[in-house]
Amino acid sequence: MHIVVCIKQVPDSAQIRVHPVTNTIMRQGVPAIINPYDLFALEEALCLKDKHGGTVTVITMGPPQAEAALRKALSFGADDAILITDRAFAGADTLATSFALASAIRQIQKNMPVDMVFTGKQTIDGDTAQVGPGVAKRLDMQLLTYVSKIVAVKPEASEIVVERRAEGGVQLLKTSLPCLVTVLEGNNQMRFANMPNMFRAARHPLKLWNREEAGIADDDIVKIGLKGSPTVVSKVFAPTPKSERAEMIEVESGDPKDMAVTVLSKMFTRFPAVEKEIAKRAR
């Protein structure tokens, strides 16, 4: 069984700081990590490999520094890693990104058929959850999003059964391979990298694919990067503060009890609906 896992290198949001005066992001020195949601996809792929055997290939599209994310994935146990990197990809929105990734996966398929493509449910920097569905459509693969559990994979029957999170419940779905699965968080935990894999990851000859190597012909340059992106950012701005700042509750005594009583009485005067809501709970 051959599983391709799409990952993305993202800035560690826990360490992003906002400039207190200009309200802009201070990107300097923010460490890059593998998108946390993608780790659930990678772990799920590695579990299937443990069970059924096979190969796990990780791919990412990004700048040359994204190599670090791929080496990390190798250290967890992925077998091969491909970095799709070219200036021509810069400025891609989700439509252009799915074109490039799908094209690269088609190249991978030329060497070894791909049974499944795994992605995280979304990234933590873009939060769009669109690239997975886009790649599935372009590869004409069955799409299984928000998969909370892989119930069974039968490679010989080319069949997979999964639980998919829907709005009010869970759908139990059966489909045929090849398929693309976006894996929901929380149902597994990334394994620790072991010593042999860490050594292997450091030495592994990473494949670097430029546009042509990713299978994108000259004619298709209009489908990648900025040119291939229908959406355009027309403006970026800091959120406007609400018309008024918070009314600060200050009491002479500095006693929390007095603060609590003060804020409640102010609130009930100005927001009778809140007082009503709370009164409801007394009954």
Distance CA 89, CA 225 (A): 4
195 versus 282: smaller Cβ distance to other proteins: 282
Shortest Å distance, C-beta 270 to other proteins: 8
Phi, psi for residue 146 in degrees, rounded to 5:
50, 50
Residues 7, 42 contacting (CB under 8 angstroms) = yes
144 versus 201: smaller Cβ distance to other proteins: 144
205 versus 254: smaller Cβ distance to other proteins: 254
Shortest Å distance, C-beta 197 to other proteins: 25
- How would you label 9-38 residue by residue, b for 16+ Cβ within 10 Å and e otherwise? bbeeeeeeeeeeeeeeeeeeebeebbbbbb
Would the CA dihedral through 154, 155, 161, 165 be positive or negative?
positive
Distance CA 165, CA 121 (A): 11
130 versus 210: smaller Cβ distance to other proteins: 130
Shortest Å distance, C-beta 158 to other proteins: 10
3-state secondary structure 88-131: HHCCCCHHHHHHHHHHHHHHHHHHCCCCEEEEECCCCCCCCCCH
Distance CA 214, CA 202 (A): 24
Torsion of CA 72, 75, 81, 85, to 10 degrees: 20
Residues 145, 182 contacting (CB under 8 angstroms) = yes
Torsion of CA 274, 278, 279, 281, to 10 degrees: 150
206 versus 222: smaller Cβ distance to other proteins: 222
49 versus 60: smaller Cβ distance to other proteins: 60
218 versus 244: smaller Cβ distance to other proteins: 244
Residues 137, 100 contacting (CB under 8 angstroms) = no
Shortest Å distance, C-beta 59 to other proteins: 13
53 versus 243: smaller Cβ distance to other proteins: 243
Q: Which residues make beta-bridge pairs with 118?
A: 5, 181
Phi, psi for residue 155 in degrees, rounded to 5:
-60, -40
Shortest Å distance, C-beta 203 to other proteins: 28
